[in-house]
Structure 1
Amino acid sequence: MDIVAGRLVVAGGGQAAFALVAKLRALKDTRPITIVSAEATLPYQRPPLSKKYLLGEADLERLHFRAESWYPENDVEVKLSTEVAWIDRAGKTVSLSDGSMLEYEYLALATGATPRRLPDAIGGNLKGVFTVRDYLDADRLGLEMQEGRKALIVGGGYIGLEAAAVARGRGLDVTVIEMADRILQRVASPATSSIVKEIHIARGVDVREKTGLDRLVGENGHVTGAELSDGSIISADVVIVGIGIAPNDQLARDAGLEVLNGIVVDDHARTSDPSIFAMGDCSVLPLKGSMVRLESVQNAVDQAEAVAAIIAGGDEPYVPKPWFWSDQYDVKLQIAGFCMGFDDTLVRPGAREGSVSVWYFRAGELIAVDAVNDAKAYVTGKKLLELGRTPDRALLEDPSTDLKTLVA
C-alpha cells in the first residue's frame, strides 16, 4: 500500500540527499519531494572527482546517480542552483535563495561540508591554488595538471594523498607536506602511515612530515612556490589543499538547532527539532558513547536510508557500521570500523606480495582493520566487526591461519 503524506524538502544535492530520496521511493512512499541543490547539475558521485574524473577516465554524465528522466518519473522535483536560505521551524516552511518558499512535513539537511582553505594572508587567494569538492573544482584543477609541472600537496590525509597519486599519474613532480609527525596521523596507526608513505615514496613523491607551510609566493597573481616551516623554499605551479573539511551547519545554527562542529542528531538522525533530520558529512552522530562525524560515502548512504525508513513509518535506530576506502595508484586501501581510541595494533602480511593489513584493538577488543591490497583481510575484519567478535590473537598473528576460519 502506497504511503502518501506531506512534503519532504531535502536541503542539499549530494550522496546523502539522493540516497534518502531513492530509498523513499523504493519503499513506495509517494509523498511530494523537493531536492534543493546549490549545484547546477543533478546529484552525482563525488569520490571519483579526485581520481578517475581528474584522470579523464570518467565524465560527469557517468558520475550522475540517475539519468535526468528518473526524477520526473519518480515525482521528485529538483531545484538546481538554489539554496535553502532560511528555516521557519514554527511555520514549517523554508525560504529559498530564488525568493520562493516551500512548506514541509519533514526537512532533511544533507548540506555536506566545505574544504578548509588556506588564508589569503599566506597566499591562499593566488591562482593555481585548489581545493576539490565539486566537479567545477576538478575541472579547473585538471587544466593546471600538466605533465612536467610541480605540484605541492598541503596536507597528508586521504584527500591530499589521493591528489598526490593523481598528480603523479598525470606526470607532475609532487611534494606532500604534513605539519603533524606523520601522514594520516588523525585517522590511522603509525603502521598504516608508514605503509602508505612508502607507497608514495616508491613512486617518486617527496613526502615531508613535520613540515608546515609558512606562505605561498607568486608572480602576476599565480602561485610559483612555497616557503616551508623547515626554512626551505620549493617551486610550485599547482597547489592542492587537503587540510580537512568544515561541516555546512550554518543553516541549522541560524534555525536554532543544536550544533557542535556539525548538526547534532540522535540515533534516529533527528536534530533537536523532531521534524528535521540531518545526515552525511554535516551531521554529528552517536557512536559507541561518543559524538562523531563520519566523513564517508558509507555513512551518507546508510544514515540517509535509515532516515527514509523512519519517514516512511519505521522506527529503527541507525547503528553506524563504518567502512571507508582510498584508491592511490594501483593500491586499494580498505578500512572497516573506526579506529578512534585504539591502544594496540597488529600488522599481518597478506597472501600476495604487497598486501598487508593492520588490525586495531581497544582494551583487547577489535575495533577496526586497515587492509592494503588485501581484500580477504578487509572482508574478514568487516564481518568480525559486524558480529561484534574479536579473533584469537595467536591465530591472527599466525600467517598460516586461513582468515575465513575466524568467522566460521
Structure 2
Amino acid sequence: MRLIVIGNGMVGARFVEDLLARDTAGKYEVTVIGEEACEPYNRVLLSEVVAGRYELSSLTLPSPDHPRLTVLRGTSASSIDREDRVVVTIDGSRHRYDQLVIATGAAARIPPLDGLDPTPGRLPRGVHALRSIDDAREIVAATLNSRRAVVLGAGVLGIEAASGLAQRGCTVTLVHPADALMERQLDGSASSVLASAMPDVGITPRVGVGAAAAVVADGRLTGIRLTDGEVVESDLLLVATGTIANTAIARDAGLACERGIVVDDASRTADRRIFAIGDCAQPPSGAMGLVALGWDQARRLADLLTSASLPSRDGGTGSDVVRVKAHGLDVVTMGVCGGARPDAPTQRSLTLSDPATGRHVEVVVEGDRLVGATCIGAGQVAADLVATYTRRTPVPSDPAHLLLSALSPAIVTATSPDALADDAAVCRCNSVTKADITSAHTCGSRTVEEVAQATRATTGCGGCTDEVCALIDWLNERDPAAVRA
C-alpha cells in the first residue's frame, strides 16, 4: 500500500519511524515529501541554540534507514488531487497514494505592524522569527552586530528567546500586550513574580503594552514604536506572536479547515484516505502546540494504520507540562493553571507567593488528585509536583503538604530515584518510564546519549535531562561492575 507523508518535521518524522517499527507485515511503502533539505531536527530546542547552549548539529533527530522508505528532501508538495489520489510536487512530479498523512506543521505569525511586510522574504533587515533551523542560524549571526533587541510576544517561546538573546549579550526589551506574561499558563500574581525576576537576567518586561510600528531606515530596523507612544531603540526584533497552521494544500484540496485541518480523534479528515497530525491539524480537543501531544497523535495513528484499532491516549503522562528553558528564570506549569481557567467549585487551590525571593507556587487539587500547578523559582518542589501530577499520586487531604519540600529542603523528594516507581514517567514527551531506562541500562546504556538512543528520553523538550542523569548515576552506583566493564 502506498502511503505518502507531506512534512518531515518532528511529528511527521516520528510518525514514519513509529509506523515502520509497527509494520512488521510489510504493508506500507512510504514516501516522505519534506520541504527542508536537511534531516528532521528538534524545533523545541531552537531557543537553546540562540542561547548558545546547543549547537545546530546536536538538534538532528534519528531518521530511519528502511528499504520501504523514500524521503524526498528539499521538495515541496504543491497540490493534492483527491480524485486521482495523487500528490503533485513543485517540480511537477506526481506521486500516487492509497493513504495520505499531512504533517505540514505551522509557520510563524507575523503581526500586522506598520513597517512590516509579512510576505516571506520581505521583512526588513534585523527582523526575525524563530521557527526553523535557518531562522536560528540567522538570529545567532545577527547578535554579533546587535546590542539592543526587542522580543515581541511573551509566551513560552518569547521568554526563552529573550533569555537566549540576553545570554548573547543583548539588552532585551520584552513587549507583551496581554495583562500577564504567559497568560495561558500564568495569572496576574504569578506573572508579576516572573516579571520582577527578569531584570536580573538582562530582560526588561513591558507587560500590557503592544507594538504599534517597526521603525525602519534604509531597509533596516532601528526601533519599535509601542502603543503608548514610546520608541524603543533596537537593531534586532524577534517576533514570537504565535503560529499559523500550514493548511493551504489541504484547503485547496477541498478539505475542511478552520484554525487547522479539521480531524476527528483518529486524525482522519472527511476524506477517509487522508489524515492530518501535528500543528497543522485541529482535533476535537483543539489545536496541538506541544510536541508531546503531536508525538502521541503520531503514535496513535501509526497504531491505527497497522492494527486497525485506535489505542488510548497516554493519559496522565504529563503531555501538558510546560517548562520554560530560560537562564535564571525557573518556570514550570501543568494542568489547571492561568488566569482564564474556569471557576470549578470541586477544585481547591493553595498559593505560596513570596515576590521578594522570586518564588510563587500554586497547587490545584480535585478530590485526592493534583490537577494543576504553577511553579516559579520553586526548584525541587516543581520537580516533585510534576512527579505527583504525572503519576496521578493521591495527595494529602491538606494541600499544604504538597509545598513542604519548598519550605524544608531536608524532606526526601518524590523525584529521588529510590522513591520513583518503576512505571513513573521520567521523559514525559516520549512517555519513557523509570523501568524503560532501567532496562536500557541493563542492556548496556550507561550515558545520557546511549539512553537517549535506546529510549528517546531527553530528545523532546529536554526538560527531563537532569532527572535522566540522576537516574543513570543511581543505576551506575548500584552496579559499578557493569560500568567498569
Smaller-chain TM-score bracket: 0.7 to 0.9
- For residue 336 of structure 1, give the secondary structure of its aligned residue in structure 2: strand
Q: Report Cα offsets for 1:233-274 as digits up to 9, x if no partner.
A: 111010000111011112111122221200111111111122
Tell me whether 1:308 sits opposite 2:302 in the alignment: yes
1:47 to 44, 47, 53: 44
**What is the DSSP-based 3-state SS (H/G/I as helix, E as strand, rest coil) of the residue aligned with 1:316?**
coil
Residue 140 of structure 2 corresponds to residue 163 of structure 1: no
Distance 1:367 1:272, change over 3 A: farther
In structure 1, distance between residues paired with 2:268 and 2:305: 11
2:431 aligned residue: none
Aligned to 1:25: 20
Secondary structure at 2:292 match in 1: helix
Residue 217 (structure 2) aligns with: 219
The answer for the alignment partner of 2:477 in structure 1 is: none
- Displacement of 1:181 after TM fit? 1.1
Give deviations 1:19-47, integer Å, cap 9, x for gaps: 10111122134311111111111111111
Does the 8 A contact of 1:148 with 1:173 survive in 2?
Answer: no
Matching of residue 341 in structure 1 with residue 341 in structure 2: yes
1:126 and 2:124 aligned: yes
Could you list the per-position Cα deviations for residues 181-225 of structure 1 after superposition, in whole angstroms to 9, with x for gaps in the alignment?
121113433344234323323323110111111111122211011
Partner of 1:379: 387
Q: Distance in 2 between matches of 1:345 and 1:395?
A: 8
Deviation (angstroms), 1:54: 2.0
For residues 5-24 of structure 1, what are the structure 2 equivalents within 5 Å? 6-24=1-19
Matches within 5 A, 1:72-151: 73-119=66-112, 121-124=114-117, 125-146=123-144, 149-151=147-149
Q: Partner amino acid for 2:21? A: A
The 1:399/1:357 distance shift into structure 2, 3 A limit, reads closer
Report whether the alignment pairs 1:66 with 2:62.
Answer: yes
What is the aligned partner in structure 2 of residue 368 from structure 1? 372
How is 1:246-395 mapped onto 2 (pairs within 5 angstroms)? 246-287=244-285, 292-317=286-311, 319=313, 321=315, 322-323=319-320, 324-337=322-335, 339=337, 341-343=341-343, 345-348=349-352, 357-360=361-364, 367-372=371-376, 373=379, 374-384=382-392, 391-392=395-396, 394-395=398-399
- Secondary structure of the residue aligned to 1:225 is strand
The C-alpha deviation readout for 1:69-110, integer Å capped at 9, x for no partner, is x43x45321111212211122222211112111111211111
Q: Partner letter of residue 100 of structure 2?
A: L
Name the stretch that deviates more: 129-138 or 317-326: 317-326
Q: Report the Cα offset of residue 232 of structure 1.
A: 1.1
Letter in 1 for 2:306: A
Mapped pair 1:35 → 2:29: no
Spell out, residue by residue over 1:47-67, the C-alpha distance to the aligned partner (whole angstroms, 9 max, x if none). 11121x223443333211126
- The amino acid of 2:79's aligned partner reads W
Give the Cα separation in 2 of the matches to 1:129 and 1:234. Answer: 14
Q: CA deviation at 1:334?
A: 3.7
Q: Residue type of the partner of 2:33?
A: V
Q: Secondary structure at the match of 2:13?
A: helix
Counterparts of 1:362 and 1:216 in 2: how far apart (Å)?
47
Asked if structure 2 preserves the Cα contact closer than 8 Å seen for 1:37 and 1:81, the reply is yes
1:17 Cα offset (Å): 0.6
Shift of 1:395: 3.2
Summarize deviations over 1:338-376 as a string: whole Å, max 9, x none. Answer: 6473437533589xx977543346899854333443211
Shift of 1:286: 2.5
Is the contact made by 1:178 and 1:211 (CA closer than 8 Å) also made in structure 2?
yes
Structure 1 distance, partners of 2:327, 2:188, is: 21
| Percentage of identical aligned residues | 28
Query: Could you tell me how far 1:9 is from its partner in structure 2?
Result: 0.7
2:268 alignment partner, SS class: coil
Figure out how many residues of one structure are paired with residues of the other and give that number.
389
Distance in structure 2 (CA, Å) of the matches to 1:200 and 1:37 = 39
Contact 1:341 1:362 in 2 (8 A): no
CA distance in 2, matches of 1:354, 1:227: 30
Partner of 1:241: 239
In the superposition, the TM-score normalised over structure 1's length comes to 0.86
Q: Distance in 2 between matches of 1:225 and 1:348?
A: 39
Query: Does 135-144 or 360-369 show the bigger shift?
Result: 360-369
Residue 199 of structure 2: aligned partner: 201
User: C-alpha separation between the residues in 2 aligned to 1:88 and 1:187?
Assistant: 41
CA change 1:97–1:262 in 2 (3 A) is same
Q: Shift of residue 318 of structure 1?
A: 5.1
- Secondary structure of the residue aligned to 2:78 is strand
Query: Which residue number corresponds to residue 3 of structure 1?
Result: none
Code of the residue aligned with 1:341 in structure 2: it is R
SS in 2 for 1:379: helix
Contact 2:31/2:72, CA 8 A, preserved across alignment: yes
1:120-179 deviations in whole A, cap 9, x for unaligned? 633353210110110111111111113770000111111111111001111110001111
Return the alpha-carbon distance in structure 2 between the equivalents of residues 396 and 381 of structure 1.
15
| 1:187–1:251 distance in 2 versus 1, CA, 3 Å | farther
TM-score, normalised via structure 2 length: 0.73
